[in-house]
């Protein structure tokens, strides 16, 4: 769940805040943890890095930032605009971003290992791209992933996204619905899920989950999250949950 901005906020360690007067449930209380990808589970915004390689970085980054802050409310339209600017980028540039720029966020592997040890399933929900999300899912041994499929022809991006069986673009509503669908698949209540994100596109899934976590997040997300990790890595969530 997201929390009311008026709820009490206490700092339990430097840069680690909880919007609750009571102790949070332990990690083992939950059965699923869902992560946003760009700037949450990984250290970059993939679309910005691809655009930078194409010489269109400033224009794409400006759209990304406005969308993350919630200033562009139609995420699908903002993503289509950004992807259109990537037309002609070679797949080799994606490989270069993966090899040279993309890293799991600090503490990501530790949090995922602890979650798995406690019996939680792991879910990656990204408004970014399957080209990266599937590689990351395999690298971190995540259970489920959903993201957007770039169209690639003859080794180059066409500037379009491909439709998939579930729909066209992973926006905030799709993140929420997918989290609920996976909860149903696992036979658990949404209250048994944790949702971790950093941008406005994550608020709907955070509201649906039993615990919302803002990781180095935009102000609008920090205002609504139950746990705020403003400093340090993702594994600081374990401290908030009593580990």
For residue 71, being part of any structural domain is answered with no
How buried is residue 112: exposed, middle or buried, by Cβ count under 10 Å (0-12/13-18/19+)? buried
Within a 10 A sphere around the Cβ of 54, how many other Cβ atoms? 16
Question: Among residues of the chain, what percentage have pLDDT more than 90?
Answer: 82
For residue 206, being part of any structural domain is answered with yes
For residue 29, being part of any structural domain is answered with yes
- Residues forming the active site: 36, 38
How far, in Å, CA of 38 to CA of 26, rounded? 27
Query: Which residues span the domain enclosing 36?
Result: 10-43+104-149+162-240
For residue 130, being part of any structural domain is answered with yes
For residue 53, being part of any structural domain is answered with no
How does residue 148 score in pLDDT terms, banded at 50, 70 and 90? Answer: very high
pLDDT digits (tens, 9 = 90+) for 2-52: 666 667 899 999 999 999 877 899 999 999 999 999 999 999 999 999 999
What are the phi and psi torsion angles at 61 (to 5°)? -60, -35
* pLDDT value, residue 67: 79
pLDDT digits (tens, 9 = 90+) for 100-145: 999 999 999 999 999 999 999 999 999 999 999 999 999 999 999 9
Q: Look at the chain and report how many structural domains it folds into.
A: 1
For residue 111, being part of any structural domain is answered with yes
- Look up the CATH number of the domain holding residue 179: 3.40.50.1000
For residue 68, being part of any structural domain is answered with no
For residue 16, being part of any structural domain is answered with yes
């Amino acid at each position: 769940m997201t929390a009311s901005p008026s709820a009490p906020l206490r700092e339990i360690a430097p840069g680690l805040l909880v919007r609750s007067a009571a102790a949070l449930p332990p990690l083992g209380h939950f059965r699923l943890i869902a992560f946003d990808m760009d700037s949450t589970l990984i250290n970059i915004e993939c679309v910005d890095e691809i655009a930078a390689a194409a010489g269109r970085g400033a224009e794409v980054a400006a759209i990304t930032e406005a969308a993350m802050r919630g200033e562009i409310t139609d995420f699908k339209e903002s993503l289509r605009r950004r992807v259109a600017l990537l037309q002609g980028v070679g797949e080799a540039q994606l490989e270069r971003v993966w090899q040279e720029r993309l890293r799991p966020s600090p503490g990501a592997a530790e949090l995922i290992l602890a979650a798995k040890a406690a019996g939680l399933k792991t879910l990656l929900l990204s408004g970014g791209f399957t080209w990266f999300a599937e590689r990351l899912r395999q690298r971190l041994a995540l259970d489920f992933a959903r993201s957007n499929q770039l169209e690639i022809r003859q080794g180059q991006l066409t500037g379009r996204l491909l439709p998939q069986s579930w729909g066209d673009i992973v926006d905030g509503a799709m993140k929420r619905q997918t989290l609920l669908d996976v909860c149903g698949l696992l036979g658990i209540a949404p209250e048994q899920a944790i949702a971790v994100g950093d941008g406005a596109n994550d608020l709907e899934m955070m509201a649906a989950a039993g615990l919302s976590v803002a990781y180095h997040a935009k102000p609008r997300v920090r205002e609504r999250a139950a746990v705020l990790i403003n400093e340090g890595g993702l594994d600081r969530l374990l401290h908030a949950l009593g580990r």
